[in-house]
Structure 1
């Protein structure tokens, strides 16, 4: 689904992402983890085309990323930024429908419009995310958790084959974090598409990702299943703190991490 070769990034003379090769397969939930400033967001920006690499290439579905037209790429790949949605005076429905822009002409009409096509997609997404009762509410008046679901709904409206999320659980309490990750996993299972997600919480990453990319200082330190990556020795080396890793009591094969103060 995604192939990166010799991918690197410099800002002025500072190398923030050292040359790396990476392959992401279809139907994966891939988590990118690592300490602050390790290059996670830079890697995602390069994979999504938001920034140009200093060296190397990215292919999406066998085609060079730079060869895609903006609207054609938006039908394949959607990105949920950490900032989510701005506090503007649109309704929930209007925000969801904005995600349909890759399929609209310059008048804002669906190019291949069937009967009530846009409306049906928007409402189906709102129902799936449990925000249909907020359809006509102005987003300024909604909670952080509700706004995050609206932001997710907007990118799902693009009907992407690849969904990239930069810390989608930031600013959410533990209940809303789990709710957000459950919504993402349900969408992925139903669509059989690919998810690439940056996470700070190693427990969430272990529970919801099929594969993890662990980074430090602009390099990939380890790629593998949660069981292969979330190990005491590896986490201590990368994060500089002593963890205790145990098997999750309710989810088989998902390690759970506890940080030891000693």
Structure 2
């Protein structure tokens, strides 16, 4: 029931990880993945830790990376943020394909992006095709379709491959819609995502009947604080568990958890 983790080194990550991990690594760690089981293999949940900017990038939608390849819709919940931490999502104004390509080549694409100042409790949903970047000083939980296809438009001169042609083929040159953002999440139970590929809720204590009805079948449970149990096995903050049904999960008073399931499950 408790998922195995994968530690992923990234040039923009951290050697000192914050709570609940509180570990020191010799090389910077950018992500901790929870390996999805076969019964929930379309969904990936992970933590992100940043000390530098991530590349300006975009993910393809369904079939855009090749026949039968899944797309990547994702969402972020900010757990911790430095005072000046920011996320770039979408553009400040609509831009032409020619303008986007030229800005990616000379680095001025940063100035075209809409940078959002963020704090703990901010939530964003990013449809495939949304151009984005994550700034330094952030700890996030990311819930996404289970694929790691990323097209980089700009990477601040780092010696990593760029994918300008692939990115331009899928990127949306639009302003990010405000209704995809929530502020101050974490003080009450709330439905976060009712998307075409997955559902996500934040739950304080035990879910009510309406929230429980949103998650039929297999669910992933990620405690942000406190402890839950799946058929008697304790799952604490920094861990993630999978249950065959929400009824198999015991929610303790005071626990704050994310509940995720595949759409149509």
| TM above 0.5 | no
Higher RCO (C-alpha 8 Å, min separation 6) = 1
Structure with higher strand content: 2
Q: Give me the TM-score of the superposition, normalised by structure 1.
A: 0.33
Structure with higher helix content: 1
Q: Report which of the two structures shows the higher radius of gyration computed on alpha carbons.
A: 1
Q: Give me the TM-score of the superposition, normalised by structure 2.
A: 0.33
